[in-house]
Amino acid sequence: MKLFFDTSALVKYFQREDGSDEVQALIDDQANEVWALSLALLELHSSLFRRSRSRELTDDEVKEVWSCVTEVATGFNIESTSEAIITEAHNLLLRFGKKPGLRSLDAIHLAGLSLLGEKTWRVVACDTVVCEVARNMGYKVINPAPAKPNQPAPKIV
């Protein structure tokens, strides 16, 4: 199965939190192809530095986790962000920016999916807005950590 990850789900492979077990199973399953934009790696790196600034991680832990990210990501299909993706992201913002509230970086991820993938691909995301927009775009969604009633899903980065 071809799986397109946004950062909210991908981070769960490297950081223990709700949904980590399912994300790890999806990524480790050799039958699955993992796809993401290079933007996801940038956001992952940013989240590590945020955790370092808040003293959740030491500098050595940041280096260790980032080393793991770069090693694991060699098995992913990582696509660069192009001008075509930015144009498509703008189109998605025009459609979904006001309601349900699609944000710019999420629009870029979904634009990459729109231009790279097919409707048979699955979107793996833990952001409720990304999941809603992906469904509206005609994709099936896997949300490893759906929001509990009266509690929003955790947002990473």
Give pLDDT tens digits for 140-150: 999 998 765 44
- What is the CATH code of the structural domain delimited by 2-142? 3.40.50.1010
Which of 50, 52, 28, 37 is CA-nearest to residue 7?
37
Amino acid identity for residue 95 in this structure: R
Residue 98 CA to chain centroid, in angstroms?
21
* pLDDT score of 154 more than 60: no
Phi-psi region of 150 (alpha: psi -120 to 50; beta: other; left: phi over 0): left
pLDDT, tens digit, 9 for 90 and up, residues 46-62: 999 998 999 989 999 99
Where does the pLDDT of residue 15 fall: very low under 50, low under 70, confident under 90, or very high at 90 and above? confident
CA separation for the pair 81, 84 (Å, rounded)? 8
Listed by start position, the domains of the chain span 2-142
- pLDDT of 66 reads 93
- 91-134 pLDDT per residue, tens: 999 999 999 999 999 999 999 999 999 999 999 999 999 999 99
Q: Name the pTM for this structure.
A: 0.88
